[in-house]
Amino acid sequence: MALRTAGSVLVVFLWSVAVVLGQDGWSVTYTTQSICTLKGSTVDLSCSYTYPSGTVTTTFWFTKMETGVEPEDLGQDPENAGRLEYHGDKKNDHTLRITDLRERDSATYKFRFITDQTGGRYYGNPGVSLSVTDLQVKVTTTWWSMTLTCSTTCTLTGNPTYIWYRNSKIVQEDSSPSYSVYLKTEDSFYCVVKGINSPAVYSPKNTSVSVSPSGEIVEGSSVNLTCSSDANPPVDKYTWYKITYKKMSMRHSGQRYTIHNISSEDREGYYCEALNIIGREHIPVHINVTSVFPWVPVVGVGAVLTAGALLLTIYCSLKR
């Protein structure tokens, strides 16, 4: 068995032989009966074959077959245009290369060949079972640590190496698909298998709060706050806090929070916290609260105070 990587493309060659014998000298030998590989990679499906006499005129691979109907050459399917390559000498070996694998390529592939002899048609069973999977990072936690696992829907062929990145820097390269982190963090993580990347997982970031209605909010009215954040996995919980006298108290749990009978004390001191299994982020909220009383110019206030002081002076003089 050998593995070859070309750039970011994973090519799988498997040489463990499974032989399927035919009748009267007809046979097909597949190099393997089962392959699990990654979405976006390249795979080679190989076989060799024998026949009693004549010359091979046609060779192809197929995945679907109906009774009494000639199987369809995969190369004739427009959806496969530019992704299939046939290699062989039309004597005793043949390879189908599929590039840019997609999950819908998962199927059982069988090889068929036709000779110039009467009745010279044959295909080999059981074929090659191809499973195409993507990479996903699964996260499990305890109270003190977090374990990230590079997960696939089938066991990858060839015992690959898993490379873990933390903030785009390699932190582990191992045959194990798991990587452990102590405590929660604000970092991002992803795994790579032979040039194929998983989506990154990360704690909430770019958290923001929208205020409705926008602009000035009159005291005594209501205001709606909505918190949003970018996170993968998505945010599990939004929590609203208010800081009063340097103490933080939880006021609401949920992405949206309505404050009724708002007052000038609500201008500052609110926080939205976004939390997922990786970590958390919180952001302060500013609410533009205006008084219900008309605005009084500073000069007018000064005049009122001066007049009051004068009246108090006159009153005191009369008392004497």
The yes-or-no verdict on residue 163 having pLDDT over 80 is yes
Q: Is residue 53, in this structure, part of any structural domain at all?
A: yes
Shared domain for 177 and 151, answered yes or no, is yes
Q: Which of 182, 199, 216 is the last residue of a domain?
A: 199
Shared domain for 266 and 152, answered yes or no, is no
Total domain count for the chain? 3
Mean pLDDT of the chain: 83
Shared domain for 126 and 92, answered yes or no, is yes
Q: Is residue 150, in this structure, part of any structural domain at all?
A: yes
Q: Is residue 298, in this structure, part of any structural domain at all?
A: no
Helix (H) or strand (E) holding 305: helix 298-319
| pTM recorded for the entire structure | 0.73
Give 39-64 pLDDT, tens digit per residue.
999 999 999 999 998 999 999 999 99
Shared domain for 13 and 126, answered yes or no, is yes
The predicted pLDDT at position 293 comes to: 61
Shared domain for 226 and 283, answered yes or no, is yes
The predicted pLDDT at position 6 comes to: 35
Say whether 45 sits in a helix, a strand or coil: strand
Could you tell me where the beta strands, DSSP code E, fall in 93-168?
93-98, 107-115, 121-123, 128-133, 136-141, 145-151, 162-166
The predicted pLDDT at position 301 comes to: 43
Q: What is the DSSP letter of 91?
A: S
The predicted pLDDT at position 309 comes to: 45
Report how far apart, in Å, the C-alpha atoms of 118 and of each of 3, 55, 60, 114 are.
Answer: 41, 11, 19, 10
The yes-or-no verdict on residue 98 having pLDDT over 90 is yes
Q: Which of 4-13, 39-48, 216-225 has the lowest mean pLDDT?
A: 4-13
The predicted pLDDT at position 208 comes to: 95
The yes-or-no verdict on residue 185 having pLDDT over 90 is no
The yes-or-no verdict on residue 250 having pLDDT over 80 is yes
The yes-or-no verdict on residue 8 having pLDDT over 60 is no
The predicted pLDDT at position 112 comes to: 94
The yes-or-no verdict on residue 109 having pLDDT over 60 is yes
Shared domain for 105 and 60, answered yes or no, is yes
The predicted pLDDT at position 19 comes to: 36
Shared domain for 271 and 158, answered yes or no, is no
Query: Does residue 197 contact residue 134 with C-beta atoms inside 8 Å?
Result: no
Q: Which of 116, 133, 150 is the last residue of a domain?
A: 133
- Cβ neighbours of residue 122 under 8 Å, at least 6 residues apart? 22, 26, 28, 49, 51, 112, 113
Share of the chain above pLDDT 70, in %: 82
The predicted pLDDT at position 23 comes to: 61
CATH number at residue 188: 2.60.40.10
What span, in angstroms and rounded, lies between the C-alpha atoms of 132 and 107? 9
The predicted pLDDT at position 292 comes to: 66
The predicted pLDDT at position 135 comes to: 95
- Give 283's pLDDT tier (boundaries 50, 70, 90): very high
Shared domain for 113 and 150, answered yes or no, is no
Domain span holding position 194 = 136-199
Q: Is residue 235, in this structure, part of any structural domain at all?
A: yes
Q: Which of 151, 162, 158, 106 is nearest to 130 (CA)?
A: 106
What span, in angstroms and rounded, lies between the C-alpha atoms of 89 and 219? 85
What span, in angstroms and rounded, lies between the C-alpha atoms of 46 and 111? 9
Q: Which of 159-163, 191-195, 219-223 has the lowest mean pLDDT?
A: 219-223
- Residue 265 or residue 149, greater confidence: 149
The yes-or-no verdict on residue 219 having pLDDT over 70 is yes
CB atoms within 10 A of CB 130: 23
How many Cα atoms occupy the beta-carbon half-sphere of 81 within 13 Å? 2
Mean pLDDT of 13-38: 71
The predicted pLDDT at position 277 comes to: 92
Mean pLDDT of 153-160: 93
